[in-house]
Amino acid sequence: MDVLSKLLQSTAINTAKTSDFRNYKARFFNKAAKALLSFTPLDFDSTRSNPIQVIDFFSGAGGTSLGFAAINRIIPVFQFIAGCDKNPVSAVTYSRNFGTPTICEDVLNIAKSPAKIHTFLNRINFDETKPTILIGCTPCQGFSSHRKKYWSNADDDRNNLVIAFSQIVTEINPDVFIMENVPEFLSNRYLQYYNKARKTFKKVGYIVKQNIYNAAEFGVPQKRFRTIIVGMKKEFLLPDGYFTPKEYKTVRDAIGKLRPLKGGESDPVDTLHKAVAHKRSTIEVIKKVPHDGGNLPEGEGPKCLMKVNGFYDVYGRLSWDKPAITITHYARNPASGRYTHPVQNRGLTAREAARLQSFPDGFQFEGKSDDIYRQIGEAVPPLLSCGIAVDVLIEYLSIEPTTIQLEKENVTIKLPISNSYSSVIVGIKNTRKRA
């Protein structure tokens, strides 16, 4: 029997797991990654009969759900019943692409009481008899290393969202939950939030594991380090990357074939591939930056930036044959970091930013230009999500791992990690085989 057919059969009957499908992870991931490229928006009926429900809290545009949607193009497993985000534009984008109702609500309000949680579940027609996966990628800004001067503000509401999600997990009791955040989420500074949530998870029977990954290990043409946390009510293995540094996808792979544009120009057949009309003074600065990875020459550019540490990458060009730096919602602005095109004198278009995040061209963003860049920058890269989705599905359907498999598991994170972002990344590079 074809392994994918066997996977579907195991999912549909939801019996005790008696097989080990782990040897198929790499093959399954490669199929899902290719399927992601052909994504087009879904309608609700297309996933209604699929056996595993997916609810995406803090969904944003839906980057995490896209990884699960890619699997559906190979084998119909996941039913998307809701994405929830308090930003109305993001909520509409999710609804448009996954065929779900538009749910624009603050998760803090949903989590206030069991009654409110069940009101939400009734609204989305949640079926408690079906296996369920909850996604909870809380906004990362409250934990970001870029907010060090605010680190004394332990009561940032964004930090409390982690606790709110743990309360929702406890009430819904899903088969699997997934969380994503910046590496600093596991640091001394914020460990109180994760420890409180993890204690709640474990109290109701979940095994909880965490690790930090470079999205480039999953084919994303971008170096983006993120914490991934998975919980199941059985022993399981965490995801493992599929690409070595020599195999990382590059900026050229992602955007090298797009139509060249000058500032202010648009691709007539791709509305997202539109270059910002920079000021003439900005263009003159960009022209002085050497092509293909060059830095702003000393003494050039705005004087205000020369007096501030931490702005060494401003106006820097991306390198054609390396992954991009972390893409944020500032990607169109060369003055915000290394967001200048490798050879063209402009910042990145929304299409370029989306491709560097591994969004397929068929994904449809709602909103104005600022909204689109924000949704792209805040998203979990869909190819990273593919890796997580493949791992979660196969682990859920497989027998529990052996002692030997658990001993070989790619877990490198000891809690708490350092408060220093750079030291965390160096540690990962020194200990992980693929780094």
* 3-246+380-431 CATH: 3.40.50.150
Angstrom CA distances, 149 to 142, 146, 152, 154, 188, stand at 11, 8, 8, 12, 16
Alpha-carbon dihedral angle through residues 202, 206, 211, 214, given to the nearest 10 degrees:
-140
* pLDDT confidence of residue 408: 87
Measure the CA–CA gap between 361 and 292, rounded to whole angstroms: 25
**Mind giving me the DSSP string for 282-308?**
HHHHHHTSPTTT--PPTT-S-HHHHTS
Q: What is the pLDDT of residues 80-98, one digit of tens each?
A: 999 999 999 999 999 999 9
pLDDT range class, residue 421, cuts 50, 70, 90? low
140 catalytic per annotation: yes
For the chain, the distance separating the N- and C-terminal CA atoms, rounded to the nearest angstrom, is 36
Q: What is the mean pLDDT of the chain?
A: 88
* pLDDT confidence of residue 10: 57
* pLDDT confidence of residue 299: 76
Measure the CA–CA gap between 434 and 302, rounded to whole angstroms: 39
Q: What is the pLDDT of residues 354-393, one digit of tens each?
A: 999 999 999 999 999 999 999 999 999 999 999 999 999 9
> Which member of 84, 104, 137, 140 is catalytic?
140
Mean pLDDT on 174-198: 90
Judged against a pLDDT cut of 90, whether residue 410 lies above it is answered with no
* pLDDT confidence of residue 435: 43
| Residue spans of alpha helices (H) in 261-381 | 280-287, 303-306, 350-356, 369-378
Q: What's the CA angle centered on 24, arms 19 and 30, to 5 degrees?
A: 150
Measure the CA–CA gap between 268 and 47, rounded to whole angstroms: 34
Q: Where are the domains of the chain?
A: 3-246+380-431
pLDDT range class, residue 43, cuts 50, 70, 90? very high
Mean pLDDT on 237-252: 96
Q: What is the pLDDT of residues 198-214, one digit of tens each?
A: 999 999 999 999 999 99
* pLDDT confidence of residue 150: 36
Pairing relationship of beta strands 78-84 and 102-103 according to DSSP bridges:
parallel
* pLDDT confidence of residue 138: 86
Pairing relationship of beta strands 270-274 and 207-214 according to DSSP bridges:
unpaired
pLDDT range class, residue 153, cuts 50, 70, 90? very low
